[in-house]
Structure 1
Amino acid sequence: MKQLLVVEDARLAQSLADYLASRGIPCELTESELGISVWLVDDSRTTEAEQEVKRFIKEPHHPRYAEAAWSSERPQTRVDYSAGQHQLLAELLLQAGPVTLLVALACVAVFLLSYIGLPMFALLGFHTSVEQLTSWQIWRFLTPTLLHFSVLHLVFNLMWWWYLGGRIERRLGSGKLLVLFLVTGCVPNLLQAVLVGPDFGGLSGVAYGLLAYLWILPRRQGWAEQPVSNGLLGFMLIWLVLGFFHLFGPSMANMAHLGGLAIGLLQGWLDSRKPLPRH
């Protein structure tokens, strides 16, 4: 048998297998730590199967695959596309590893503690002067990422953190996500504080770093799936540029966003030059 593709989403893998079967190309699915592997049973159909896989990678959510899954004559392997609607919490947890969850919980805890009146900004905010940069309170280089100033601010950043961080952690491991969190947190925070001032907070600088990392690394390493499309990156770049015009208020940490983007691109390019561990 020949391995055609590894897909993180089991439902998408099953829909591809059903579609290939409908075209007379039998496949089998196996599960591993990397995801769901689609195996070609008949090697004589390799060329046709690989062409279909290329089309699937470009548009994995095309109706042709869902229709094939539902019309499959093998109900025991048919994908239940409504399962996620009944297991939302389980899906959220499955898409995130321990680092993703711990950082998200820390952000929520800090927000709630601040909401009830505790001085979290004073405890976790960036150093208020250049002289303090050499003090022993080194956590202040990173902890502004845990500070959020409204429910919308918190939810928006956690959505990006869950989507981007979860995919990195599942594909490359908790250690890689932790390193990226530290680098895309500390360096952009320092940039924002030195060039603008210490009054800022949020995970958005980290989010831009992970966004850039997940855009460049999969393309350079030839991943089958592209977690960040060109359109999504373009939208976030427009959002970044508009922030410099203060269209969303004067308090956006624009330099942290720009710094995170640059760090993510650089780290992704460096990592793409060497084989990464698969988890």
Structure 2
Amino acid sequence: MIFLKNTLFLAKQTKITSALVVINIGWFFISRILDVRGFMPFHENEFLIDWGADVSQLTFAGQYWRMFTNLFMHISFTHLALNMLALWSVGSILEKLIPPFAFLGIYLLSGLFGSLASDIATINHNVISCGASGAILGIITALLAFSLINRANITEMPIKSIVVSLILTAGLGLLPTIDNMAHIGGAATGFILGAIVTFCLRTFNYPSKLTIIIVSLVFIMAMIILYLGYLHYQIPGVFYD
């Protein structure tokens, strides 16, 4: 009972992180209830693609929404559980330190750029990519950037723990089924955005100014994503009929 009360209290303090966890878990089960292929190993690939997994050939052929929807698709319950545990443990820390819009922007843009990095790396291969790992790594590295910049004022930030998490993630990347480029793209984006947001928080006293800066940054980076995708779509001989 005490555990439940503590969980509910933490959920109220970290509404965005809690909402993302609920959406991911809900989408995992709802999609499989509506489409039983999700429980059939021989039809798993078809299920993942039809429900929004990222496949570079399809994405660069115009289905750019796959770079977003794949962030909420998970291959197995173990895959989902590990990602949600990481999101909850790190997201609940960072969300308390920066504005909600900035937190959500870092999460989504890290995931999108992770998807783009994966698509560019697998353009000539039939690879199905899905999962929130790129977005979560963006949250981890954003927290690392925040901790490093504010190290003089916030000595209790778990910098060593964050670095250990990144090292363990890199170690998992040795497995053949891990999408390393999505991890690298998400981590790099999260660190850059985390540093920018932290700098803005230290420089500007008015939330309105920070909001304008972040909205502009999100818009610019979204345009970069679409433009890079457009460039790849223009490369002849890349796509299959």
> What residue identity is the alignment partner of 1:100?
T
Separation in 1, partners of 2:99, 2:2: 24
Of 240, 248, 252, which aligns to 2:178? 252
Of 158, 183, 188, which aligns to 1:262? 188
4+ runs deviating over 6 angstroms: none
1:211 Cα deviation from its structure 2 partner: 0.7
Of 137, 154, 178, which aligns to 1:224? 154
Separation in 2, partners of 1:195, 1:271: 28
Separation in 2, partners of 1:175, 1:112: 27
Of 133, 139, 143, which aligns to 2:60? 133
Q: 1:242 to 1:171 in 2, by over 3 A?
A: closer
* Number of residue pairs matched by the alignment: 190
The RMSD of aligned alpha carbons is 2.7
What does residue 80 of structure 2 align with? Answer: 154
1:90 Cα deviation from its structure 2 partner: 1.7
What does residue 113 of structure 2 align with? Answer: 187
Q: TM-score, normalised by structure 2?
A: 0.68
1:244 Cα deviation from its structure 2 partner: 3.5
Q: TM-score, normalised by structure 1?
A: 0.59
1:128 Cα deviation from its structure 2 partner: 4.2
What does residue 94 of structure 1 align with? Answer: 12
What are the ranges of 5 or more consecutive residues in structure 1 without an aligned counterpart? 1-82
> What residue identity is the alignment partner of 1:103?
L
Structure showing greater Rg: 1
Separation in 1, partners of 2:4, 2:66: 41
Separation in 2, partners of 1:185, 1:174: 17
Q: Report the structure, 1 or 2, having the larger helix content.
A: 2
Q: 1:170 to 1:230 in 2, by over 3 A?
A: closer
Q: Report which structure shows greater RCO (CA 8 Å, sep ≥6).
A: 2
1:273 Cα deviation from its structure 2 partner: 2.7
Separation in 1, partners of 2:8, 2:190: 29
Per-residue CA deviation, residues 211-260 of structure 1 (Å, 9 max, x unaligned), is 11101213313453644x233223223223323422xxx21121111222
What does residue 123 of structure 1 align with? Answer: 51
